[in-house]
Amino acid sequence: ESTGVTVLGLGAMGSALAAALLDAGHATTVWNRAPARATALSARGAAAPSGIADAVTAHPLVVACLLDHASMHETLDPVLGRMRGSTLVNLTTTTPNEARELAAWADRHGVRYLDGAIMATPPMIGTSDASILYSGPREVFDDVRPVLDRWATSTYDGADPGLASLFDLAMLSGMYTMFAGFLHGAAMAGSAGMTATEFAARATPFLSAMTAGFAHDAAVVDGGDYTVAGQQSLDFSDLSHIVRASEEQGVDPAPVAAVQALISAQIAQGHGAEAFARIYESLRARAEVT
Ligand code: NDP
C-alpha cells in the first residue's frame, strides 16, 4: 500500500508534485491558501479540506511547496504543534540558513524535517530529466524516498539541512552568470545588426565546448597550485579590451567588467603570472570575511 501524502501550496510546482503523486496512486490531500487552485486536483481524486489543520493531520507525510521562507512560517506556525511525529519535506526555495532555521523550528515541535531543492521546471516533474537535492537526517530521506522518487532523481547531499539549498543555488549562480554573459555578447553583436537568434546559433556550440574547461579549472583549484604548467595566466586573461569594445559599441559592459574586476584584483596582488582560476581565491576570501 502506498503512502498517503499531503501537499501544501498548489502553485505551478506544487500542483505538478501533487499530480505526480495522484498518477502514482498515492492517497493525496492538497491545500492552497487560495482554495480555487485545489479544484483541478480534487477533480482527479485528491482530498481538499478547506482548513490547513485538517490538511496537515490527514497524513504523517506533509510536503510544502510555498513561495519562500516567510510563507512557510505564515502557513505552518499556527498548526506545527499538531504535527508532532510527522515528517515535513520542504521543497520551498530558501537560503541555506533559512533551511537550517526551519529544521530547528520543526525539531522544537517534534516534527522530522527534510529540506529539498528542486532542479526542474514543473513540466519536468515525474520525468527522468528532473533532479531534486535533499538534506537533513539520512533516516528521514531513506524513509520517504519511495515518495520522493515519484518526482525526480533524488540526491541526498548530507545531514546539514542547508546543503540542498546551498548546492542548488551554487548551480543557479553559474547558470545566471552564463546567461548574463550570453545576453551581453548578444547585445555587442546586436550593436552591429546581428540578431540575438543568429548570435545564439554561434554561441551555443562555442559555450558548450568551453564547459570542458570546468574540470580543468577545478583540478587547479583543488590542487591549490595556481602556478602549474599549462594554465592561461591572469595577465593573458586581461579582459580590458572586451570592456573597451563593449563601451565603443555603446553596450553596458557590466557582466564582463565584473569578471575583469576579479582578474585585476589578483593581478594587483602580484599573481598575474598565475592561472586564471586564481580568481576563485578572491571569491573565497570574501566568503571567509562575511
Ligand atoms: P507559484 O508562484 O506558482 O506559486 C506560489 C505558491 O505559494 C502558491 O500556492 C501561493 O498560494 C503560495 N503562497 C505564496 N505566499 C504564501 C503565503 N504567504 N502563505 C501561503 N501560501 C503562499 O510558484 P511555484 O509553484 O512555481 O514555486 C513554488 C516554490 O517552488 C518556490 O519556492 C520556487 O522557488 C520553487 N521552485 C519553482 C520552480 C519552477 O520552475 N516553478 C523551480 C524550482 C523551484 P496562493 O495561490 O494562495 O497565492
Scan for cell 502557513, then name that residue: 75
Note the CATH architecture for domain 166-289. Answer: Orthogonal Bundle (1.10)
* Predicted pLDDT at 230: 86
* Predicted pLDDT at 2: 81
Q: What is the pTM of this model?
A: 0.93
Query: Are 88 and 62 spatial neighbours (Cβ–Cβ below 8 Å)?
Result: yes
Residues 6+ apart with CB under 8 A from 27: 2, 4, 5, 47, 59
* Predicted pLDDT at 229: 85
For residue 171, the CA-to-ligand 1 centroid distance in Å is 20
For residue 206, the CA-to-ligand 1 centroid distance in Å is 35
Q: How does pLDDT run across 116-137, given as a tens digit for each residue?
A: 999 999 999 999 999 999 999 9
ipTM, two decimals, is: 0.99
Helix (H, G, I), strand (E, B) or coil at 100: helix
Query: Are 263 and 276 spatial neighbours (Cβ–Cβ below 8 Å)?
Result: yes
**Distance, CA of 273 to CA of 102 (rounded, Å):** 46
For the CA of 68, the closest atom of ligand 1 is 32
Query: Are 280 and 221 spatial neighbours (Cβ–Cβ below 8 Å)?
Result: yes
**Distance, CA of 34 to CA of 31 (rounded, Å):** 9
* Predicted pLDDT at 57: 98
**Distance, CA of 136 to CA of 160 (rounded, Å):** 6
* Predicted pLDDT at 290: 46
* Predicted pLDDT at 287: 63
- Residue 245 phi, psi (nearest 5): -60, -40
Residue whose CA is closest, atom 44 of ligand 1?
Answer: 118
**Domain boundary assignment for the chain:** 5-159, 166-289
Residue type, 177: T
* Predicted pLDDT at 132: 98
* Residues facing 5 on adjacent strands: 28
* Predicted pLDDT at 218: 96
For residue 14, the CA-to-ligand 1 centroid distance in Å is 7
* Predicted pLDDT at 288: 59
For the CA of 120, the closest atom of ligand 1 is 42
Which residues line the pocket of ligand 1, CB cutoff 6 A?
9-14, 32-34, 37, 65-68, 71, 74-75, 92-93, 118, 121-122
User: What's the CATH fold of domain 5-159?
Assistant: Rossmann fold (3.40.50)
* Average pLDDT of the chain, as a whole number: 96
Q: What DSSP element (H or E) covers 168? A: helix 163-190
Task: Please state the separation of Cα 198 from the chain's center in Å.
Answer: 30
**Distance, CA of 64 to CA of 247 (rounded, Å):** 47
Burial 163-199 (b: 16+ CB within 10 A, else e): bbbbbbeeeeeeeeeeeebbebbbbbbbeeeeeeeeb
Residues of the chain short of pLDDT 70, as ranges, are 1, 287-290
Query: Rounded to whole angstroms, what are the CA distances from 5 to 49, 60, 244, 278?
Result: 13, 7, 57, 48
For residue 32, the CA-to-ligand 1 centroid distance in Å is 10
